[in-house]
Amino acid sequence: MSEIALSAADLDLLELGLVTGLHLGPSAPSVLTDPERTPVAELSADGVLTPLRPLAPRPELDVEHVVGITDPTVRGASGAVVFDALPTRSQIAVADALPGGRVAWIALTGRDRRRVPAGVLLRAVRSAASAWTARTGRAAIVVALPWSLDARPVRLPMPAVLDGADALAAWLASSFDLAGTVVLGESDEHRALATLERGALDAARALFPSEVLPFHRGERESGLVLLFTGLSGSGKSTLARAVAAALSGGGAVVSVLDGDEVRQLLSSGLGFDEAGRVLNVRRIGWVAAQIAAVGGTAIAAPIAPFAAGRAEVRRMAEESGARFVLVHVSTSLAVCEARDRKGLYAAARAGRITDFTGISSPYEVPTDADVTIDTGSTTVDDAVAAVLAAVGGSA
């Protein structure tokens, strides 16, 4: 039996299959795992899914007063409106035209969302449904559906019903006896408003180039993941904090993921062998990508000794829609060892610490760094200026 590691989009498909009983069709028998290779389901040759353990919960979803798609009350609805973007007033009014009776208000809450975080969308749909009920006197059923129209599944042989808005509407209508279903995603109304705003901003900048700041409808800007890598004692944390202060002073929302702090909190159970280091960097990359996915700036400063681990952080950041900047703090081993504020190098030389980067464990020098800084010969101010220039150039 083969093993298939699932991406975020694949996990959406798997969750949807498990909660609705979708039949996947003939397939090679496989064990399906999450990205960290933990088995979560088994797929038989005839397309039957069997859960091996519950999927990881998503705490950002406040599910109070929200039913699942298989709840019996959904089948009693007369129709449904489905959202994968924040509802507008005109979209809310679309529900008025659906047949009389209860209407299911469905928020697409898949893991692989690119625009609006699932928890934000679910709360917005719940608020819209409440306002609609107050205005019309009709009952609303708020539903969380684990799917994203913008997801691009590539592995699981799910049926074509999930390939787009029209197919999703047809599947909901046929599977849950709904008299009418409307899928309201990134609508023409949203796109037209965004175009008008861009045009007005461009015109204003032409007239008053030094006075105009960007304005937004509430959608996020592209986030940023800034990864510092280098030997212990190279000055990564000092530079990370200085860059964070500079970016915060410019109005950015910044989170610093310091290597030592992450080790104490997020990765306290990991060792310092190669497998433990790889997983530690992967965890840092995942957290950073989540911060950047909602428009924040994540600055991480682990040693990150292996090229493959750094490449994975880059991939997760870019898949989240964020920009990625790699800073190699290239301070030499001799300088780092001379500093040795924590006595780690001395302990490694004496054999009291094994698998220590630069002494008994390798450091793979980056060949793809956006900035290279030697703190043995560069001041903090000059180093910060170089990083900020790279961040500005990556926009």
Residue-level pLDDT at 218: 40
* % pLDDT > 90, the chain: 19
Examine the pLDDT at 365 and tell me if it is beyond 90: yes
Per DSSP (E only), the strands in 303-385 are 323-329, 371-373
Task: Report the number of secondary-structure helices (H) and strands (E) in the chain.
Answer: 13, 14
Examine the pLDDT at 217 and tell me if it is beyond 70: no
Residue-level pLDDT at 178: 66
Examine the pLDDT at 205 and tell me if it is beyond 90: no
Examine the pLDDT at 181 and tell me if it is beyond 80: no
Confidence of residue 272 (pLDDT cuts 50, 70, 90): confident
Examine the pLDDT at 152 and tell me if it is beyond 50: no
Nearest to 322 by CA among 285, 370, 368, 364: 285
Residue-level pLDDT at 146: 75
* % pLDDT > 70, the chain: 67
Examine the pLDDT at 230 and tell me if it is beyond 90: yes
Question: Helix, strand, or coil here: 48?
Answer: coil
Examine the pLDDT at 166 and tell me if it is beyond 80: no
Residue-level pLDDT at 355: 84
Average pLDDT over residues 347-361: 88
Q: Please tell me the least confidently modeled range out of 137-141, 156-160, 330-334.
A: 156-160
Q: Please tell me the least confidently modeled range out of 67-71, 78-82, 185-189.
A: 185-189
Examine the pLDDT at 154 and tell me if it is beyond 50: no
Examine the pLDDT at 361 and tell me if it is beyond 70: yes
State the Cα–Cα distance between residues 385 and 388, nearest whole angstrom. Answer: 5
Interacting residues of 208 by C-beta distance below 8 A, sequence separation 6+: none
CA distances from 2 to 15, 26, 190, 256 (A): 20, 15, 44, 39
Mean pLDDT across the chain: 75
Write out the H or E segment, with its range, that includes residue 346.
helix 344-349
CATH of domain 67-188: 3.40.50
Confidence of residue 387 (pLDDT cuts 50, 70, 90): very high
Confidence of residue 160 (pLDDT cuts 50, 70, 90): very low
Confidence of residue 331 (pLDDT cuts 50, 70, 90): very high
The overall pTM is greater than 0.75: no
Highest mean pLDDT (candidates 147-161, 190-204, 303-317, 342-356): 303-317
Nearest to 262 by CA among 228, 234, 215, 296: 228
Q: Please tell me the least confidently modeled range out of 95-99, 199-203, 211-215, 257-261.
A: 211-215
Examine the pLDDT at 19 and tell me if it is beyond 80: no
Examine the pLDDT at 197 and tell me if it is beyond 50: no
- Right CATH number for 224-393 from 3.40.50.300, 3.40.50.150, 1.10.260.40, 2.40.50.1020? 3.40.50.300
| Residue 117 identity | P
Higher pLDDT, 297 or 64: 297
